[in-house]
A and B are shown apart, each in its own frame.
Chain A
Amino acid sequence: MSETTPLEDPNLAIQPPLDNPVMSFLRQERMPHIWCPGCGIGTTVNCFTRALTDAGVGLDRLAIVSGIGCTGRVAGYLNLDSFHTTHGRAIPFATGLKLARPELEVVVYSGDGDLFAIGGNHFLHAARRNQDLMVVCVNNFTYGMTGGQLAPTTPEGASQTTAPFGNFEAPMSLPYIAEAAGAVFVARWTVYHVRQLARTFKEAFRRKGFRFIEILAPCPTLFLRRNRLGDGVDGVRVYKERSVIRDGADTRTIGLGMEGEIVVGTFVDRPRPTWLEAMDAYYQKVFGDRYRPVGGGSHVEG
């Protein structure tokens, strides 16, 4: 494998700006990334890294966990402790990581198929338990990595390779599920809303508990093209035109279709004790001084 990266290649006609603030967060030796031109995932990563700078998150104490899929590759490109796990299981891996070392800030960054189809059960229970995780879902309405199959978020009527005559299933509304399952913070933006998204990441970093951020992102190669919706720019234009910011919106009313409003904003913001806080408080009541909280000498001193 070449150790020099394309970004350092002097023969490239257009040199990327080396002072891009995102660069220091990336594993530059892993560039170029696998994402297609016009894909929205990279934009979400830009916003995420902006929030890391603004929120002053200690990068050595931040771990990122992804599942499988296009968004599942985010973990591999960020220069953090990063884990690319199995399909659908980023949340339970992150749960173990966080509980083993509670001083870590653990972010799960994955796609709609990974988090809500194969991994849906884990999402429900981690939200119910209020595990102290920030869960970021890039929703592109399709299975990108495997070639454009039906996802649990695919809008009714949309064509997919495994729904070649159009989707007749009802899609999931992710914020509604997150709220119902017990998430303490629920927001949705699109990749058009880069400033709002960065700000929401920052707000989420300042909270504890199960925080969920859905980001709508175009998949030009497999979703837009198949449905004759244009390229990545067209996708973002649609987000701009159809989006309505409505903080505190009733999550029962914000499902997504091929047409109609895309309601964005922060819908839920309600603190409650995390799983670990609840356990500590409960066992302190039961056992008093005899209780040994997690980390009470059980960690290996590194």
Chain B
Amino acid sequence: MTADPRGVLTGVHFLDGDHAACEGALAAGCRFVAGYPITPSTEVVERFAGRIPLVGGVFIQMEDELAASIAILGAAWGGQKVMTVTSGPGLSLMMEHLGFAAITETPCVFIDVQRGGPSTGLPTLPAQADMMQVKWGSHGDYQVIALCPSSPQECFDLTIRAFNLAETWRAPVFVMMDEVVGHMTEKVVIPEASAIEVVERRWTSKAPGQYRPYEPTPDGVPEMVRAGDGYRIHITGLTHDERGYPAMNPQHQDRLIRRLNDKIRKAGEALVDVREDQCEGAEVLVVSYGITSRVASAAVRSAREKGIRVGHARLVIAWPFPRDRIRALASGVRGVVVPELNLGQMVQEVERSIPAGVPVLPVDHAGGTVHDPDAILQRILEAAR
């Protein structure tokens, strides 16, 4: 189906990434946002608070990020498409509800506008150092989907996609922005509502009595209902059976946790999005994501001017990590260069994906600004030698 026109601000705009992400959420049908102020993400919820009274929905500023991150899960079970928005310290507080969303299979979107850490770190300056936290930060085995926009236009486009993926897979989906993408202002084109594809919740057609909240469909994802429609559901963060009732034993744990992980891990091409630029026949491969892709593009251009055949693979979906695709792209190259605004996070995924013997050259950065393109160029030259 296509977007509800009430949420779609069709036209050509000059927006920063935070504002564009908010418009993406509204276009996707998000009608409930709970937030807590935190730099550099706050503009997303400020805009939502200003827009929602005329669209029809709720914004509520909660008392902390724990509250914000579970208020949205309550609202999802009330039938709404939901989102919260935060940055590093707030993300740390939300980890418990990331796990609750995963085990209860509650569709929800988290926007994380990354800043330098750990702790209070660099509130107003960029980093990409939460990449592993969203994957591993909540306890237990779970999967997330994480999208990495590199421009305000992509903040709009990928936020819509995040909602669609959340509904499709009934899993928490992250939009992994950073301070630079969040605060840079560029042209953003918002299409007509009829041109925006939105995915509806997987509502069950079964009657109460026939419906079991955690009975998987063939792709591993169960159908959903909302509270108040007579189904009398029980939803718990405990390990549960298909009725949703606590079932705390190794057999149910194995069945449930494998299904929760496999529905994402076995999704295959549906959850692979690597944008490839001249990767065929390349002697050096650059793997990047988010804002760093744009800096890396400058370095790639310079290297090509020097006659080096450089391929550039940009991860639009970082989680699940596109292991097979990166392995294929890295076969036959002399080296893989991985720039990122952290001291080495996604580079570990690259290392364990690619064929043995292909050197991996990280271009790490503690955050606070973007890379100097020359630092990436030097590593490309090194890899080409």
By a beta-carbon cutoff of 8 Å, the part of chain A in contact with chain B is 1, 27, 29-30, 59-61, 63, 65, 75-76, 79-86, 88-89, 91-101, 103-104, 121-122, 124-125, 275, 283, 286-287, 290-300, 302
Contact = CB atoms under 8 A, between A and B. Distances in A.
Contacts of B19: none
A292 B53 contact: yes
A96 B228 contact: no
The list of the 6 closest CB pairs from A to B, nearest first, reads A100-B78, A96-B74, A292-B56, A96-B71, A100-B75, A96-B75
Contacts of B34: 92, 96
A60 B226 CA distance: 11
A286 B53 CA distance: 10
Contact of A294 (B57, B96, B100, B232): B57
B232 A79 contact: yes
Contacts of A60: 228-230, 232
Given A86-B70, A103-B228, A299-B79, 17 more contacts: A83-B74, A83-B234, A85-B74, A86-B237, A93-B71, A98-B78, A122-B67, A124-B63, A125-B62, A291-B54, A294-B56, A294-B58, A295-B56, A298-B55, A298-B56, A298-B80, A302-B225
Nearest to B67: A92
A100 B232 contact: no
Interface in B209-235: 225-235
17 contacts: A63-B227, A65-B74, A81-B228, A82-B235, A86-B97, A93-B71, A96-B74, A99-B32, A99-B58, A100-B79, A100-B80, A101-B228, A287-B54, A291-B53, A298-B31, A298-B80, A302-B79
Given A76-B234, A82-B234, A300 B79 contact: yes
A17 B319 CA distance: 55
Contact of A100 (B32, B68, B201, B230): B32
Nearest to A73: B246
B369 interface: no
A96 B79 contact: no
Given A81-B233, A82-B234, A292-B56, A121 B64 contact: yes
A287 B246 CA distance: 47
A89 B64 CA distance: 11
Contacts of B70: 85-86, 89, 92-93, 96
A298 B246 CA distance: 33
Contacts of B238: 84
B140 to A, nearest CB: 13
Given A30-B245, A89-B67, A99 B75 contact: yes
B100 A85 contact: yes
B199 interface: no
Contact of A302 (B203, B237, B247): B203
Contacts of A59: 232
Contact of A76 (B71, B100, B228, B245): B245
Interface of B: 6, 31-32, 34, 53-58, 60, 62-64, 66-68, 70-80, 82, 96-97, 100, 200-201, 203, 225-238, 241, 245-247
Contacts of A103: 228
A135 to B, nearest CB: 14
B85 to A, nearest CB: 15
A91 B34 CA distance: 14
Contact of A96 (B32, B229, B230, B231): B32
Contacts of A85: 70, 73-74, 100, 237
B71 A92 contact: yes
Nearest to B56: A292
A63 B228 contact: yes
Contacts of A121: 63-64, 67
Contacts of A293: 56
A80 B53 contact: no
B200 to A, nearest CB: 8
Nearest to B236: A84
Nearest to A295: B56
Contacts of B76: 96, 100
A101 B232 contact: no
Contacts of B56: 292-298
A218 to B, nearest CB: 25
Given A92-B71, A99-B60, A125-B63, A1 B227 contact: no
A81 B79 contact: no
Contacts of A95: 60, 62, 67, 71, 74
Contacts of B236: 76, 83-84
Nearest to B7: A298
Nearest to A99: B58
A297 B32 CA distance: 14
A290 B228 contact: no
A97 B76 CA distance: 7
